[in-house]
Amino acid sequence: MQRILRLSVVLRIVMTLAATLTMALLFVVLFEPGLAYKTQGPVPASDTRDFLNVLGSALEQAPLQPGQSTVFAQGAQFYNAELAQIRSARSVIDLEAFIFHDTPVGRRFLAALTERAKAGIRVRVVVDAVGSLPTPDHFFDGLRAAGGQVAWYQPFRWYTLKRWNNRTHRELLIIDGHTAFVGGAGIGSAWDTGDAPLPPWRDVMVQVDGATARGLQSVFAQSWLESHGEILIDSEIASNVPVADLPLVQLARLPVDTPVAMTVGSTPTGGRSTRARVLFQLMVGAARKDLLIASPYFVPDLSMRQALLAAAARGVRVRIITNGVHNNHPIARLASRRHYGELIAGGIAIHEYQPGMTHTKVMLVDGLWSVIGSTNFDNRSFGLNNEVNLAQRDVTLAHQLELVIGSYLGQSHTVSLEDWSRRSLAERVLASIGIALERQE
Domain match, 205 and 260 both: no
Q: 181: which strand partners?
A: 173, 207
Q: List the one residue out of 180, 199, 110, 181 whose CA is nearest residue 146.
A: 110
Q: Report the SS3 class of residue 138.
A: helix
Domain boundary among 183, 208, 238: 238
Please check whether residues 301 and 408 belong to one and the same domain: yes
DSSP state of 384: I
If one counts every other C-beta atom within 10 angstroms of the C-beta of residue 25, the result is: 10
- Cα(398)–Cα(97) distance, rounded to whole angstroms? 25
Largest distance between two CA atoms of the chain: 86
**Same domain membership, residue 307 and residue 172:** no
Indicate whether 221 pLDDT > 90.
yes
Crossing angle (nearest 10°) for helices 275-286 and 49-59:
160
Do 89 and 118 belong together in one domain?
Answer: yes
DSSP state of 256: T
Is residue 322 situated within a structural domain? yes
Q: What is the 3-state secondary structure (H, E, C) of 327-360?
A: CCCHHHHHHHHCCHHHHHHCCCEEEEECCCCECC
Q: Report pLDDT for 62.
A: 85
pLDDT in tens, 394-433: 999 999 999 999 999 999 999 999 999 998 888 887 777 6
Please check whether residues 102 and 58 belong to one and the same domain.
no
Higher pLDDT, 98 or 251: 98
Task: Kindly state whether residues 73 and 59 are assigned to the same domain.
Answer: no
Residue 249 has pLDDT above 60, yes or no: no
Q: How many CA atoms lie within 13 A of 78 on its CB side?
A: 30
> Which of 196, 219, 238 lies at the terminal end of a domain, its last residue?
238
> What pLDDT score was predicted for residue 430?
75
pLDDT range class, residue 29, cuts 50, 70, 90: low
Residue 12 forms part of a structural domain: no
Least reliable range by pLDDT among 1-5, 247-251, 404-408: 247-251
Residues 42 and 130 placed together within one structural domain of the fold: no
Alpha carbons 98 and 95: distance in angstroms, whole number:
10
Domain that holds residue 385: 33-63+245-440
pLDDT at 37: 87
Give the count of domains, the chain. Answer: 2
pLDDT > 50? residue 242: no
Q: Residue 174 class from Cβ within 10 Å (0-12 exposed, 13-18 middle, 19+ buried)?
A: buried
Choose the final residue of a domain: 238, 254, 288. 238
- For the domain that residue 51 is a member of, what is the CATH number? 3.30.870.10
Q: For residue range 87-141, list pLDDT tens digits in order.
A: 999 999 999 999 999 999 999 999 999 999 999 999 999 999 999 999 999 999 9
